[in-house]
Structure 1
Amino acid sequence: MTADTFISQTRDGFVWFAKIPTRWIDVDVYGHVNNVQYYSYFDTAVAEHLIRCGGLEPQKSSIIGLVVETKCTFLKSIPFPAVVNAGLRVNRIGTTSVTYEIGLFLNDEVVPAAIGYFVHVYVDRSTQAPTSIPSERRDALQKLLVKN
């Protein structure tokens, strides 16, 4: 999946948003947010949505999502200080996996500073065996699903 294969690369193509302030610790020697932090922002947006809307209790849930694939296309540097609005949508929901697309927007900008995807495979916490996405989580993910 490349940046030009995403459904939309503008803010209005995303369904749900998490506001994430940049932190001084996120900045590298070059004066902008380090590339690894972008993945942290992806993870934060997905986790916040699942906790707020999908019934995820990170310490208690018997079924958890493990990240098996991620990708980020960097389009513009993110400075400090700034507020990143992480736009979230779902591209695909399978029996045991889900593919999220995330756009990182600076403040109120319409075009993202970065765009990427993030794949969860749902597993039983104790056995680590793939399992069906729980119904409460699936219902929350359906609300983020956008069609190509």
Structure 2
Amino acid sequence: MTTRLRDTDVYGHMNNVVYNEYFDTAVNQTLIELGVLDLRASDVIGLVVHSQTSYFRPVAFPDTVVVGVRVGRLGRTSVTYEYALFRGDDDSAAAQGSFTHAYVDRASNQPVELPQALRGALEPLLRASAN
């Protein structure tokens, strides 16, 4: 992804709120690519119930960034995603953190167990986090 001019705050670096937009986009893009999320039609959706981020280096416009995503915890009704944002070709993360999706029925907004297709798609990402 490429940062946008509007991402930069008065201090000349990317505003902390924007990092969360990138993280949310990366997780949802991963779910779409895995075939387990249709933004308009999925009966079960994930709602962010907790998030945290640590910042290590500034990012600015027009930096190119890469976000890595893995699964930190695969629960019965929730998933904790972990992510790191890298600037350009840097080997060290500019920021990293996690957020937890609680999965709910879209119509009722009530908690549901993770669908088997979702669990199956995420298990390889969980194993990757143990390495």
| TM-score for the superposition, normalised by structure 2 | 0.94
Alpha carbons 1:54, 1:139 under 8 Å: kept: no
**Where do 1:34-73 residues align within 5 Å?**
34-73=15-54
Q: How does 1:1-148 map to 2 (within 5 A)?
A: 20-145=1-126, 146-147=129-130
> One-letter code of the match for 2:6?
I
Contact 1:54 1:141 in 2 (8 A): no
Q: Distance in 1 between matches of 2:76 and 2:35?
A: 16
Q: Over residues 99-119 of structure 1, what are the superposed CA-to-partner deviations in whole Å (9 max), with x where a residue is unaligned? A: 111000011211100010010
Tell me the alpha carbon deviations over residues 73-122 of structure 1, each in whole angstroms, 9 at most, x when there is no partner: 01110011011100111111011100111000011211100010010010
| Highest RCO, 1 vs 2 (Cα 8 Å, sep ≥ 6) | 1
Determine what percentage of the aligned residue pairs are the same residue.
48
Report the counterpart of residue 6 of structure 1 in structure 2.
none
CA RMSD of aligned residues (A): 1.1
Per-residue CA distance 1:9-30 (angstroms, 9 max, x = gap): xxxxxxxxxxx21011111111
* Unmatched segments (≥5 aa) in structure 2: none
Cα distance in 2, alignment partners of residues 47 and 117 from structure 1? 13
Stretches of 4+ moved more than 3 A in 1? none
Count of matched residue pairs: 129
Unaligned 5+ runs, structure 1? 1-19
